[in-house]
Structure 1
Amino acid sequence: MSETDTGAALSAGGREIVISRVIDAPRELVFEAFTQVRHLSRWWGPHGFTTTTRAFEFRAGGVWEFVMHGPDGTDYPEWITWTEIVSPERIAILHGEYSDDPNTFESVLTFEPIGQTTRVEMRAVFATEELRDEAVRKHGAIEGGRQTLAGLAAYVADLARDAQAR
């Protein structure tokens, strides 16, 4: 699989979305891009979106509160609580629009080393099949996830080039 290959699937159980990508960078660098706000704000979100962070504390129980700004000028408030962090292998989160959002979903991100590359898998689990379907239909969750991982791949490729140039 090259760095541009992506996989996406809806689970047979009906509540999951799984998106993966092999990124041409070492696992530690890819994981770091998820753990520091200075990195996240540079690549997070689908193409054309930007991110403004309001609060960020990367630790189990910590919160990342941010706004995604769509290319059409629409603002999307977002809220993530980090529920588990196993560096540099795994991150588990709760993700919603705000802290008491009844439609919050769980995501687990895994970082698997494959030689000098890293396979990133994002597995989102929704409370119901209907909420999963709404995320796909209304918010473009599959394509947005693919684009987000593409942004991560491009960003860490730049980081890796900069590190080699030093």
Structure 2
Amino acid sequence: MTENQMEANRDEDIELVITRDFAAPRAKVFAALTEAEHLRHWWGPTGFTMEVARVDLRPGGLFHYKMSSPDGNALWGRFVYREISAPEKLIFVNAFSDEEGGAVRAPFHPAWPLEVRNTLTFMERNGTTTLVMRGIPDAGSPEELQIFKEGHELIRQGFSGTLDQLADYLTKI
């Protein structure tokens, strides 16, 4: 097996894939995932409030945000955009962050990958958009990759609530 084949097998084993259909055109779904006026209404875990610090939608640009839990705890996060092909594809690296937008370790596990590369594709058919989200640690250590793999179900549960909020929001805009 070549080095490239081993790398591809590792990626398939570690990569998290989430697929969700939305009863909305893909341009609308893409806008909801990339514009501050929309993101603040639905992004984040169920029950959290969202504050957008900034969105600079361009390769190298930053989406920086603060999520506050019902009990008042705040978590900062960021996306650094790598590729934007509206409304078909969006690639970004996300991380927990400090208030200035610098990447920091996850508060829930010291070996959680510092950054995760996400590739989102948007496919429309008959007014329904299928969103496919693929996430994999960006340059993670073997321990970080294992922790990420073990956390797949937890991530799926979290995104289920977040994507439910998106589905509900799309019916209102």
TM range (shorter): 0.7 to 0.9
Alignment match, 2:34? 35
After TM superposition, give the deviation of residue 129 of structure 1 in Å. 2.6
Identity %: 31
After the TM superposition, which residues 11-30 of structure 1 pair with which residues of structure 2 at under 5 Å, given as runs?
Answer: 13-30=12-29
Q: Report the more deviating stretch, 50-59 or 106-115.
A: 50-59
Specify every segment of 5 or more residues in structure 1 that has no aligned partner in the other structure, as ranges: 1-10, 160-166
In the other structure, the counterpart of 2:109 is: none
Instruction: Report if the CA contact (8 A) 2:11-2:136 is conserved.
Output: no
Letter in 2 for 1:129: L
- Matches of 2:148 and 2:44, distance apart in 1: 18
Partner of 2:156: 142
Deviation at 1:130, TM superposition (A): 2.1
1:14·1:132 contact (CA, 8 Å) conserved in 2? no
- Within 2, Cα distance between the matches of 1:78 and 1:135? 18
My pick for the range that moved more, 72-81 or 124-133, is 124-133
Could you report, residue by residue, the CA deviation over 1:83-119 in whole angstroms, capped at 9, with x for unpaired residues? 1000100100000013344611100111110211100
In 2, the alpha carbon distance for the partners of 1:78 and 1:31 equals 20
CA distance in 2, matches of 1:15, 1:66: 27
CA distance in 2, matches of 1:34, 1:119: 13
TM-score with structure 1 length normalisation?
Answer: 0.80
Q: Is the 8 A contact 1:35 1:58 kept in 2?
A: yes
Task: Report the alpha carbon displacement of residue 133 of structure 1 after superposing the two structures with TM.
Answer: 3.7
> Secondary structure at the residue paired with 1:148?
helix
- The aligned length equals 147
Task: Work out the CA distance in 2 between the residues paired with 1:54 and 1:71.
Answer: 19
Query: Residue in 2 aligned with 1:67?
Result: 66
Unaligned runs of 5+ in 2: 1-9, 105-112
1:158 lines up with 2:172 in the alignment: yes
Aligned to 2:3: none
Matched position secondary structure for 1:14:
helix
1:58 CA displacement = 1.1
Give the Cα separation in 1 of the matches to 2:103 and 2:73: 22
Bigger Cα Rg: 2
The worse-fitting range, judged by mean Cα deviation, of 40-49 and 64-73 is 64-73
1:79 maps to which residue?
A: 78
Contact 1:19 1:146 in 2 (8 A): no
